[in-house]
Amino acid sequence: MAVSKKIALVTGAGSGIGKHIALALLRNDYSVVLAGRRITALEETMAAAGALAAHALPVSADVSDPASVKALFATISEQFGRLDLLFNNVGIFTKSASLEEVDFAQWKASVDVNLTGAFLCTQEAFKIMKAQTPGGGRIINNGSIAAHVPRPNSVAYTATKHAITGLTKSASLDGRKYNIACGQIDIGNAATDMTERMEQGILQANGQVAVEPTMAVENVANAVLYMASLPLDANVQFMTVMATNMPFIGRG
């Protein structure tokens, strides 16, 4: 495999924001490990990369499974010998339901993937980044507008995204001694296949259903590229990039 200057890992790289971030990193002189549960989806990202696919490595991995995460990072160590950037992106939305009606299995699935998955990947990234030469690296967590305010009937997703903020802060603090910078990007209504429902109408806090504005996902990619471009002695701790007119500021 052709290896470029920096090595990045993107989880959930087979679709949505993860796919777009992976492609943007490939276009900006990174070798990118594409992680996701479905290898066919990762291969679609490879196909979209064209000639740059020579700098991409697809790895089937389940971030909620500690053994799978360890195997993923062992592959990174074996193939590249280092890791410069981790983009903790993978996340799931469970069925919309009022808090008292949320099924425990759906709650657990959200925690396992959205929170535990990000923790496990961060933990393994720390182990590589603190030991490599030169030491250090950068971790960027995909938070959400839900890390600030909930949508109706979204307790599991919202709780995990609020928890991502705590993970970001702890990783940022604990990473200081290893020259590991950790920041978080909170994204609102980026237009992907996962947000098509917003253009058809989505439940609002007042009980009405309304169409919400979206923005081009390229804006997210550019924001992540900026965060990743900083030297390790500088860090974007938190960034919010959102559709200007979406209901967030003032929640309306």
Strand 202-203 and strand 180-188: the pairing is unpaired
Cβ partners under 8 Å of residue 68, min gap 6? 61, 62
Active site members: 157
Residues β-bridged to residue 36: 60
Nearest to 114 by CA among 76, 77, 154: 154
Nearest to 202 by CA among 151, 163, 147: 151
Distance CA 205, CA 150 (A): 9
Nearest to 24 by CA among 227, 178, 162: 227
Nearest to 160 by CA among 115, 200, 199, 130: 115
Distance CA 192, CA 19 (A): 10
Nearest to 121 by CA among 1, 221, 18, 16: 18
